[in-house]
Amino acid sequence: MPKQQHTPKRDCVRVVPLATPELAKRVATPQSAQLVYNNGPLIASVQVFGIFWGTEWQQATLAGMIPEVNQFFDYILTSPLIDQLAEYSVPQYSIQHGKRAGSVALPTPDVPKTVDDSAIQKMIQQQISAGKLPSATPDLLYFVFLPSGVTVTQGGSASCKAFCGYHDAIGKDVFYAVMPFPDCSGCSSGLSNLDALTVTASHELCEAITDPVPGDGWYDNQNGEIGDICAWQTKKVGAYTVQKEWSNQAGRCV
């Protein structure tokens, strides 16, 4: 299925893959990776706006996670996880701390049980027009969280079958990330729901900052984006479990 809106030079890797034994073997044997800058935009001071889509987020079991996810962004956007991305600053874009610009629960229209990326893009654009979401800016990153039981499809593949999250751009200037709920072992990797989400969200966050238009920013033609090279290698930053990211300077995942 061709990608809508923009036509990348190639179908760029921009998903969190499932945690599988094959993946573990691959990331355990580090190949030489090198991210190359392709002269496109970066997100200099990311402003994250969370969107908790679907009535499920109103119900007790999930409602408690919204403040937890908000607190994660409040902390992580001024943490060493952002500092370590400074090596990817370029003259036009100096990567600095960001902040959480806000978040919203969006019960209506409710999210369908299977939702395609095209419907997620449409929802974002409609909610911007309706004034429920802030307008896009070069620093704004919409983070869409889906409730348990919802399958996301994108590019002909599905969450919990092929991926655990992804980020992309509508056109070349509306940046967003999509977080299906970690409903399967491949996307929870034995972690709590919150830890699985912070691992996946940190992966997509760092990728959106360094490669908001997939393939136009920092990209490795063999290995993909900054997070793909280190998929499911985790570490603690403060109280949070996050993913390691590739460092060109260190020559490894840090």
User: Segment 199-238, which members bind Zn ion (CB under 5 A)?
Assistant: 207, 225, 227-228
Indicate whether 50 belongs to the interface with Zn ion (CB under 5 A): no
Question: How many other β-carbons are positioned within 10 Å of the β-carbon of residue 232?
Answer: 23
Please, what is the minimum distance in Å from the beta carbon of residue 66 to Zn ion? 24
CA distances (Å), origin 178, targets 16, 52, 95, 117, 239: 10, 10, 22, 9, 23
**Residue the block writes with tokens 């997620």:** 120
Among 248, 254, 250, 251, residue whose Cα is nearest residue 89: 248
For Zn ion, the closer of residues 19 and 62 by Cβ is 19
192-219 in b/e form (b: 16+ CB < 10 A) is ebbbbbbbbbbbbbbbbbbbbbbbbbbb
Please, what is the minimum distance in Å from the beta carbon of residue 165 to Zn ion? 8
For Zn ion, the closer of residues 225 and 245 by Cβ is 225
Residue 254 CA to residue 252 CA, distance in Å, equals 6
Contact string 119-158 vs Zn ion (x = CB under 5 A): ----------------------------------------
Residue at shortest CB range from Zn ion: 228
CA distances (Å), origin 124, targets 6, 59, 66, 106: 17, 23, 19, 11
For Zn ion, the closer of residues 168 and 225 by Cβ is 225
Please, what is the minimum distance in Å from the beta carbon of residue 61 to Zn ion? 28
For Zn ion, the closer of residues 61 and 222 by Cβ is 222
Residues 204, 142 contacting (CB under 8 angstroms): no
Q: Does the N-terminal peptide bond of residue 109 adopt cis geometry, omega within 30 degrees of 0?
A: yes
Among 237, 214, 236, residue whose Cα is nearest residue 225: 214
**Residue the block writes with tokens 């369908």:** 112
Please, what is the minimum distance in Å from the beta carbon of residue 70 to Zn ion? 23
For Zn ion, the closer of residues 100 and 167 by Cβ is 167
For Zn ion, the closer of residues 106 and 226 by Cβ is 226
Please, what is the minimum distance in Å from the beta carbon of residue 105 to Zn ion? 26
Contact string 59-98 vs Zn ion (x = CB under 5 A): ----------------------------------------
Please, what is the minimum distance in Å from the beta carbon of residue 186 to Zn ion? 15
- Three-class secondary structure of residue 145 per DSSP: strand
**Residue the block writes with tokens 């993909």:** 224
Residues 113, 60 contacting (CB under 8 angstroms): no
For Zn ion, the closer of residues 147 and 227 by Cβ is 227
By CB under 5 A, the count of residues binding Zn ion is 4
Please, what is the minimum distance in Å from the beta carbon of residue 199 to Zn ion? 12
- Chain contacts with Zn ion (rule: CB under 5 A): 207, 225, 227-228
